[in-house]
Amino acid sequence: MQPATQAWGFAAVRLAGTVVLGVAVGWLLHNPWGGLAIALILHLGWMLAQLFRTEWWLRHRSYADPPEIGGVWGEIIAQIVRLHRRKRFHKQRFVQLMRQLQRSTAALPDGVVILNAQREIVWFNRMAARLLNLRRTADLGLRIENLLREPQFVRYLARGDYANPVVVHQSSGTDTWLSLQVAPYGDGQLLLLVSDVSRQMRLEAVRRDFVANASHELRSPLTVISGYLETLAQEPGLDPQLQGPLSEMRRQAERMTAIIHDLLELSRLEDTDEAVTAAPIDVAALLALLRKDVLARPLHPHEVRVRLDSTARLLGDEPEIHSAFSNLVDNAAKYTPPEGSLEMRWWVDEDGGHFSVTDTGMGIPPEHIPRLTERFYRVDPGRSRATGGSGLGLAIVKHVLQRHGGRLQVQSVLGAGSTFTCHFPPERIEAAPLTQAVRFS
């Protein structure tokens, strides 16, 4: 500010000096007006020359060596140089930041692909190029699903529900399992995250195989043991003292059979990545059957109700759904005292279909609810083992529901009872054709 005001001062003084000098010289030559005019023209010419140099300098962008101009024009040039320096500084900082960002994303152990709203590839990092066999520059602008054609991924992309990643097997070239997740951001853009999960998948496969094989191998010896125990128990000349231990042995052998059965069922559910069939299931008939099963138990709740609020059929795999529902009903029956009651309910609304089992048992402490579907998880170790459950029932329920796109909800009040609800998405419900037609017409 200080030099600028000074420069303006100088400029004013210079103009005044020029005018005075011009008038003085003109007065000596008896033509003060002519002198003034010439002085002003000279001043104007000098200003124009400075303007020209400034403009020339700006045009050629030779910011490095500004012209040696004093006065106001020099001040303006100094301001421009300062502005330019500041701009260059910020630009360099941004470039540096960008480079760092690019370097860090390139170093990411996961692949990153940026897609625009048309799902065309905008940018990808080195890992993505390696995992997806993308080519630098050549593949920019191509649609991602044209290159990554695995049907599961194409379906995932089309569905638009990116809450969970999708795992696909890349069979061509390298034999890898990729986990792909899309994260939408900005204006319809998508961020695609790719990671190699081959190792996890292989470990998982080994674990599954082990469980399946072990259960299978355990089954045959157990059948033999159960068979002999049965024969022994019916032996007429049996020492009455052995009666108790024998029946206990039989009970435990039965429990082991149940556990192995459930383990095999679970490993089968995990093993099939094929989509479940969508055959219509008559829920009303299924619930009637389950009710009969409960009433056939030696100790069953006093009251077993079935409440059908809808006749809509569920689309799914009948054996799996039966296994899931009967596990829930069995549990409820097991934990409800004989004087209690049990209710099964099936209803359909705009969120889909819902099946719930409500009991008046002792309830579940809230801290246990999130972990109920873990394998062999026990709320009360002493008690639940006595009831003879395998500890795998709810894990099976969870898996079956997952395969049908549904979820399990547990509500419980300690001492008053629990409600287990299976929620199925609307596409799993067979629309009753008649009512549907009426509604749309």
Partner 1 sequence: METADLSHHISRRFNEDLERVRSKVLAMGGFVEHQLHKAVTALVEGDSTLGESVARDDQQVNNMEVAIDEECSRILATRAPAAGDLRVIVAIIKTITDLERIGDEAEKIGYIASRLATMERPADKYREIKHIGRVVSDMVHDGLDAFARMDVEAALRVARQDRLVDEEYEAIQRQSITFMMEDPRTIRRALDVMWVVRALERIGDHAKNISEYVIYMVHGKDIRHTSLDDVERDLRAGAAVEPLPPAARS
Closest CA to 190 of 101, 121, 90: 121
3-class DSSP state of 175: coil
Q: Compute the least distance from the CB of residue 122 to partner 1, in Å.
A: 13
146 binds partner 1 (CB under 8 A): yes
Stretch that binds partner 1, among 4-12, 130-138, 283-291, 405-413 (CB under 8 A): 130-138
User: Ramachandran region of residue 160, left (φ > 0), alpha (ψ -120 to 50) or beta?
Assistant: left
> According to CB under 8 A, which residues from 103 to 122 bind partner 1?
120
Q: Give dist(CA 51, CA 313) in Å, integer.
A: 87
* Binding region for partner 1 (CB under 8 A) out of 82-90, 145-153, 242-250, 432-440: 145-153
Which residue's CB is nearer to partner 1, number 148 or number 286? 148
Contacts of 139 (CB under 8 A, 6+ apart): 121, 124, 147
Are 360 and 341 within 8 A, CB to CB? yes
Up-side HSE of residue 415: CA atoms within 13 Å toward CB? 0
Position 329, amino acid: V
How far is 136 from 120, CA to CA, in rounded Å? 14
Per the DSSP assignment, residues forming a β-bridge with 112 are 193
Residue count at the site for partner 1 (CB under 8 A)?
20
- Helix ranges, 191-275 (H): 198-233, 240-271
Asked if 342 and 293 touch (Cβ cutoff 8 Å), the reply is no
| Binding span for partner 1 by CB under 8 A among 150-158, 315-323, 388-396, 425-433 | 150-158
- Which span (1-9, 101-109, 140-148, 229-237) binds partner 1, by CB under 8 A? 140-148
- Under the binding rule (CB under 8 A), the answer on residue 150 touching partner 1 is yes
Helix (H, G, I), strand (E, B) or coil at 345: strand
Between 175 and 339, CB nearer to partner 1:
175
Based on CB atoms, which residue is closest to partner 1, 171 or 441?
171
Using alpha carbons, select from 219, 218, 246 the residue that is nearest to residue 232: 246
Residues 6 or more apart whose Cβ sits within 8 Å of residue 226: 250, 253, 254, 257
Say whether residue 213 binds partner 1 (CB under 8 A): no
Nearer to partner 1, 113 or 333 (CB): 113
Q: Do 203 and 177 form a contact (C-beta atoms < 8 A)?
A: no
Is 141 one of the binding residues for partner 1 (CB under 8 A)?
Answer: yes
Give min distance, CB of 213 to partner 1, in A: 16
146 or 435: CB nearest partner 1: 146
DSSP class of 86: H
Do residues 11 and 72 lie in contact, with contact meaning Cβ atoms separated by under 8 Å? yes
Looking only at residues 260 through 289 of this chain, which bind partner 1 when binding is defined by CB under 8 A? Answer: 274
Q: Give min distance, CB of 142 to partner 1, in A.
A: 6
- SS3 for 162? coil
236 binds partner 1 (CB under 8 A): no
Q: Which is nearer to partner 1, 139 or 320 (CB)?
A: 139
Q: Which of residues 41-100 bind partner 1 (CB under 8 A)?
A: none
Shortest reach from residue 133's CB to partner 1, in Å: 8
Q: Does 149 bind partner 1 (CB under 8 A)?
A: yes
Residue among 147, 279, 295, 414 that touches partner 1 (CB under 8 A): 147
Q: Assess 343 for contact with partner 1 (CB under 8 A).
A: no
Q: Per CB under 8 A, which region of 22-30, 131-139, 308-316, 410-418 contacts partner 1?
A: 131-139
Is the Cβ of residue 158 or residue 296 nearer to partner 1 in the bound state?
Answer: 158
319 binds partner 1 (CB under 8 A): no
**4: its two tokens:** 């600028």
Handedness of CA 51, 57, 61, 64 (dihedral sign): negative
Footprint on this chain of partner 1 (rule: CB under 8 A): 120, 133, 135, 138-139, 141-143, 145-147, 149-151, 154, 169, 171-173, 274
